[in-house]
Amino acid sequence: MVNLDKLLKSTEDINGLLARYGVKFGIYKNGSFKEQLFPFDPIPRIIGKEEFSYLERGLKQRVTALNLFLKDVYGKKQIISDGVVPADFVYAASGYLAPCEGIVPPKEVFSHVSGIDLVLGKDGVWYILEDNLRVPSGASYPTIVRGLERRCSPRTFHDTPIEDNRNYPQLLRHVMDYVNTGGMNVVLTPGRYNAAYFEHSYLAEQMGMPLVTCNDLEVEGDTLYFTGYAGRKERVGAVYRRISDEYMDPMTFNPESLIGIPHIFDVYRKGNVALLNSPGNGIADDKGIYYFVPKMIEYYLHETPILHNAPTYLPFYEEDRSYVLEHFDTLVIKDVAPWSSRTWRRPAATASCSAISSARRRRSDSAP
Amino acid sequence: MGIKSVMNTDRLFWLGRYSERVYTTLKLFSLSFDSLIEQSVDDHRAFCESLEIPDIYRDKDDFIDRYAFGLDDPNSIISNLYRAYDNAIELREEIGSETLSFIQMAIYEMKSAKRSEAPLLHFQKITDAILAFWGCADDQIDDENTRNIIKIGKRDRTDIQRDIRRLSWRICRTDLIYSQEGLRRLEELAEAPELDYDEIIRTVDALVEC
């Protein structure tokens, strides 16, 4: 059993340290920006080692399939021609970006950071709630908190074997080094008034790389450069960008973007810089495409999906449509537009969900 | 980390400058605050003149409130502290979370001071936080260039004036043989519209007879 007494008693100390280190998130309220401290919940969600290994296998399998889907859908499109995913669901989705056609990112990695939302059902089964493959956020908070927890309650960690999660920045740096096309790594932020600015600055600090805005980067020829104060320029080989696709490059996407870098997409297309995550990933985390992810796993990997989608019905298919019409009052109805939060009915059994990146890795002798 | 952006270079300079300004004005204000506790005569004007800031304050109480805590007053201590914070918060990857945390703590303490009937107690903690910030910057920032830019900003007029006042106060309490004329000249130089750093250094060098 985890010794939680000390940890629970340390809540105030931990919150004090979170304030000291400025662990905040920004919110816009009534037209003005406000920063709020991140509240710390001392009660952990305990995931036993065996259960965690199961989740890890399932998540790796899912992300591998999603990555293959992205390569296919912007390439040969075999999954469409083989009738596994209907073309309508691909081309009508706002996450599909035509400019990404034919582009294969460095080392063929599309989704470098994947935020897969998991929920534990009342039946004791873990379900995938949604996939986030564009600009997933939140990994810094459990990373910094773990260090503070250990400082305030060493006994908890002495008495209980708990998996360490503080290597996240090093893992991310390793991924950046792996896909780097030659040059320095940078973290690109929209700026201080972004809700997740703490995370951007903290990860840059922990990875030992500059936190930059659009003003610090420029494209010259086919190369992206970081410009220093003395006019010195240094080539950039990988950008961990915390800016949405549509704002990345005003010359390719939204022309009104003031936070993007003109022509960065051209450099990316030519393979001269790695962008993490790759533009165009939105097609794979679309709510309509979600339905097809188990089929993708079977199609690309020839494996049975380890983790389950939440039971989902797509009225596009006759059989599903009949079921939906019969059980309309008991189902959660969601718009399939990406990022849409339109939900017309809340689930009868509400369960909290969290990204696996923020799920606490627990090793416990007791079975889940 | 090597190459540094134009914006971050600018921020480092102003972080040093504003943190120094907070430290210096807090010390001077604390002395004035102490003398104003019993005084019926309002002499906050002397304070404004000495710092060459406009006297926009109605009276002693207004001065104490707005000079310390007036967010609309660009000369106030809290304004300078917030400007230091604005720069520091965008420099986490340059100066580190630990160094940044001392500016963050100074902000919290300033908020407590504003609500307190005994702000000097909190001012002391702000001074401690600023001193710890400089110490931490020296200790934990590996990049010499980064440290130097902060320190270049750290030097400002009030800093020089304070040092010269301190020098005057100390030197006459020693056995050193020094030039009275040189000391007067230093005080003039400190009050000049443009600081002549070379002349100040030469005068200090020639102050004591060896």
The pLDDT tens digits for B140-199 are 999 998 998 898 877 666 677 778 888 888 888 777 788 999 999 988 888 887 878 888
Residue pair A133/A66 in contact by the 8 Å Cβ criterion = yes
Q: In the prediction, which pLDDT does B157 show?
A: 67
Q: Map tokens 């250990």 to a residue.
A: A150
- A216 touches B: beta carbon within 8 Å: yes
- A22 touches B: beta carbon within 8 Å: yes
Give the separation between CA A241 and CA A277, rounded to whole angstroms: 7
Q: In the prediction, which pLDDT does A358 show?
A: 28
> pLDDT at residue A346 above 50?
no
Q: How many domains does chain A have?
A: 1
| B57–chain A nearest CA distance, Å | 29
% of chain B exceeding 70 in pLDDT: 95
Please indicate whether, in this complex, the C-beta atoms of A226 and B97 are within 8 angstroms of each other: no
> pLDDT at residue A28 above 70?
yes
> pLDDT at residue A338 above 80?
no
Token duo for residue A205: 């600090």
Please state the rounded mean pLDDT for residues A178-207: 96
Neighbours of B158 (CB within 10 A): 18
3-state helix, strand, coil in chain A (%, to 5): 40, 15, 45
Q: In the prediction, which pLDDT does A349 show?
A: 29
Kindly list the residues from chain A whose CB atom is less than 8 angstroms away from the CB atom of residue B93: 187, 201, 204-205, 208-211
Binning pLDDT at 50, 70 and 90, where does residue A353 land? very low
Angle between helices B197-205 and B180-191 (to 10 degrees): 160
Quick check: is A316 in a domain?
yes
Token duo for residue A187: 């973290």
Contacts of A224 (CB under 8 A, 6+ apart): A183, A217, A218, A235, A236, A239, A261, A264, A267, A272, A273
Residue pair B11/B87 in contact by the 8 Å Cβ criterion = yes
- A213 touches B: beta carbon within 8 Å: yes
Chain B residues with CB under 8 Å of a chain A CB are 1-10, 89-90, 92-93, 96-97, 100-101, 104-105, 108
Quick check: is A364 in a domain?
yes
Please indicate whether, in this complex, the C-beta atoms of A227 and B5 are within 8 angstroms of each other: yes
Helix (H) or strand (E) holding A185: strand A184-188
**ipTM for the whole complex:** 0.77
> pLDDT at residue A34 above 90?
no
> pLDDT at residue A94 above 60?
yes
| B121–chain A nearest CA distance, Å | 19
Q: Map tokens 């920063």 to a residue.
A: A35
Token duo for residue A364: 């416990």
Of A166, A171, A55, nearest to A112 by C-alpha is A171
| B89–chain A nearest CA distance, Å | 8
> pLDDT at residue A365 above 80?
no
Q: In the prediction, which pLDDT does A366 show?
A: 29
Quick check: is A144 in a domain?
no
Please indicate whether, in this complex, the C-beta atoms of B93 and A229 are within 8 angstroms of each other: no
Please state the rounded mean pLDDT for residues A231-247: 96
Q: In the prediction, which pLDDT does B60 show?
A: 83
Q: In the prediction, which pLDDT does A138 show?
A: 93
Q: Which residue of A has its CA nearest to B92?
A: A201
> pLDDT at residue A103 above 90?
yes
Kindly list the residues from chain A whose CB atom is less than 8 angstroms away from the CB atom of residue B10: 229
> pLDDT at residue A71 above 60?
yes
Cα four-point dihedral sign B34, B35, B40, B46: negative
Give the separation between CA A254 and CA A248, rounded to whole angstroms: 8
C-alpha distances in Å from residue B63, one per residue of A39, B19, B116, B143:
37, 21, 16, 41
Please state the rounded mean pLDDT for residues A2-18: 85
- A273 touches B: beta carbon within 8 Å: no
| B83–chain A nearest CA distance, Å | 14
Q: Which residue of A has its CA nearest to B98?
A: A21
Give the separation between CA B78 and CA B56, rounded to whole angstroms: 16
Q: In the prediction, which pLDDT does A362 show?
A: 29
Q: In the prediction, which pLDDT does A317 show?
A: 92
Q: Which residue of B has its CA nearest to A21?
A: B101
Give the separation between CA B172 and CA B207, rounded to whole angstroms: 12
Q: Which residue has the higher pLDDT, B113 or A5?
A: B113
Q: In the prediction, which pLDDT does B41 show?
A: 63
CA A101 from centroid of its chain's CA atoms: 22
Quick check: is A12 in a domain?
no
> pLDDT at residue A174 above 80?
yes
- A208 touches B: beta carbon within 8 Å: yes
Average per-residue pLDDT for chain A: 89
* Regions of chain B where pLDDT drops below 50: none
Residue pair A55/A126 in contact by the 8 Å Cβ criterion = yes
Q: Which residue has the higher pLDDT, A30 or A215?
A: A215
Q: In the prediction, which pLDDT does A44 show?
A: 86
The domain of A307 spans 46-136+285-368
Alpha-carbon Rg for chain A in angstroms:
22
- A275 touches B: beta carbon within 8 Å: no
Kindly list the residues from chain A whose CB atom is less than 8 angstroms away from the CB atom of residue B8: 210, 229
Binning pLDDT at 50, 70 and 90, where does residue A132 land? very high
> pLDDT at residue A293 above 60?
yes
Neighbours of A176 (CB within 10 A): 22
